[in-house]
Amino acid sequence: MARNREVAKRLFAIEYNRSGHEDKATEENAPNYVITPLGDPVNRLYFVGVLMSKVNNGTEESPLYRAEVRDPTGTFYLYVGQYQPQPLSVLPTLEPPTLLGVVGKVRTFTKDDGSFYVSIKPEVLFPVDIPQRDRWIVSTSKFTLERLKALEDAQAMDGPAVGPLMEKGHPRRSAESAVNAMSLYGKQDLMQYREAVKGALGLVIEGGGRPLMEAPPPPKGATPRPPDIKEDVFKLIRECSSEKGALYRDIITRCDQKGIDRIRLEETIQELLDEGTIYEPTIGLIKVI
């Protein structure tokens, strides 16, 4: 029996980026899977987001683009080289910010110290409009909620197993995910994922499904600007830095302690990267220039 084509999983960046495990193929030609915190085994995924930046870290002849695509919950990191012909032909023609659909394969990187990072090897990129983004958010929310609910039930169980979860009305897919997640990640705080789904659905409602051009005008009057955290973040990075630089996850931990919002942290780091005060020698590592 031939293996079915790998499904393109729908999941938000927040779930994908917090993955800490993978299921590496032992057989030849068998697929690799990233196991997300909600237990979903992912080999291929489809997501929609805003292309925030693209940088060619290679040469003109053999380009290697690093691109960031932002969904309502976080950022997907894409690497596009000569083995991704379609994305490589499309990406140079796109100017950020652009709403983009991405179908891609998982890419993982484990550092010597055991820290684990995920990114994306895109297979195809295509332009997307707001209604399609909204459909993606709705269906991705459905799948995420399925997994969440199963995992919430599994957490409340003594020795969670697929059978009893299915009896509770969960589809086999999410029951298996939940059991998977429990054994790999133990008890986790699931509130962040619930909030992420709410935020994403909120975007659909605020955006009202209108095309990008007709986005609602900014509200009149001065909007209170959140206090600038750039200095704080910069200081934090220096504090976390060793000779090689600062680990991204260390920075996140420190910021969590200080109560700095993760999304704002990511934005600030991006800002610092754009300014050139810091750079990212390898994924997951930040270094002050």
Partner 1 sequence: MAEEQIAPIVKELKEALPEADEEELSRELSRYIRFGIVPQEAKKAILRKMGVREPSRTSIGHRSLSELQGNEIGVEVTVRCLSSNQRLQMTQNGERTLCTGLVADETMIRRFVSWEGHALEKDKCYTLKGASVRTFRGELELNLGSYAVVDEAPEGTLSNLDISKLPRYGAIIEVSLKDLRAGQGNVFVKGKVLSAEKRQIETEKGAKRIVDGMLADESKRVRFTSWHDFGFEVGDVISIKGAYVKEWRGIPQLNFDERAEVEKLPEVDFDVMRTPRLAAEELQQSGASDVEVAGTVIEIRDGSGLIFRCPSCNRALAGGSCTVHGPQEGIVDLRAKIIIDDGTGALSAVLNTELTEQVLGMSVKECETKFCDSESRLVDHLVQKLLGRDLVLRGNVMKDEFGPSMLPAKLDDHSTDPLEEAKKMLSAMEVP
Closer residue to partner 1 (CB): 152 or 275 = 152
Closer residue to partner 1 (CB): 216 or 276 = 216
Cis peptide before 171 (omega within 30 of 0): no
Phi, psi of 94 (to 5 degrees): -95, 135
Closer residue to partner 1 (CB): 88 or 103 = 103
Closer residue to partner 1 (CB): 200 or 255 = 200
Closer residue to partner 1 (CB): 25 or 138 = 138
- Name the minimum Å distance from CB 148 to partner 1: 10
CB 107 within 8 A of CB 118: yes
- Name the minimum Å distance from CB 209 to partner 1: 5
- Name the minimum Å distance from CB 289 to partner 1: 38
Closer residue to partner 1 (CB): 8 or 94 = 8
| Residue 30 in tokens | 């068998």
By the criterion CB under 8 A, which residues form the site for partner 1? 1-2, 4-10, 46, 101, 103, 123-124, 126-128, 131-132, 134-135, 137-143, 145, 173, 194, 197-198, 201-202, 204-205, 208-209
Q: Label residues 66-79 b or e (16+ Cβ within 10 Å = b).
A: bbbbbbbbbbbbbb
Q: What is the rounded CA–CA span in Å between residue 84 and residue 206?
A: 35
Closer residue to partner 1 (CB): 15 or 266 = 15
- Name the minimum Å distance from CB 149 to partner 1: 10
Chain centroid to Cα 45, Å, comes to: 11
Among 16, 32, 35, CA closest to 24: 32
Strands (E), 168-260: 246-247
- Name the minimum Å distance from CB 10 to partner 1: 4
- Name the minimum Å distance from CB 59 to partner 1: 27
- Name the minimum Å distance from CB 69 to partner 1: 14
Which three-class secondary structure state does DSSP give residue 54? strand
CB 288 within 8 A of CB 241: yes
Closer residue to partner 1 (CB): 42 or 278 = 42
- Name the minimum Å distance from CB 205 to partner 1: 5
CB 272 within 8 A of CB 233: yes
Which three-class secondary structure state does DSSP give residue 67? strand
Strands (E), the chain: 8-9, 21-23, 33-35, 41-42, 44-56, 65-71, 74-80, 98-110, 116-127, 246-247, 278-279, 285-288
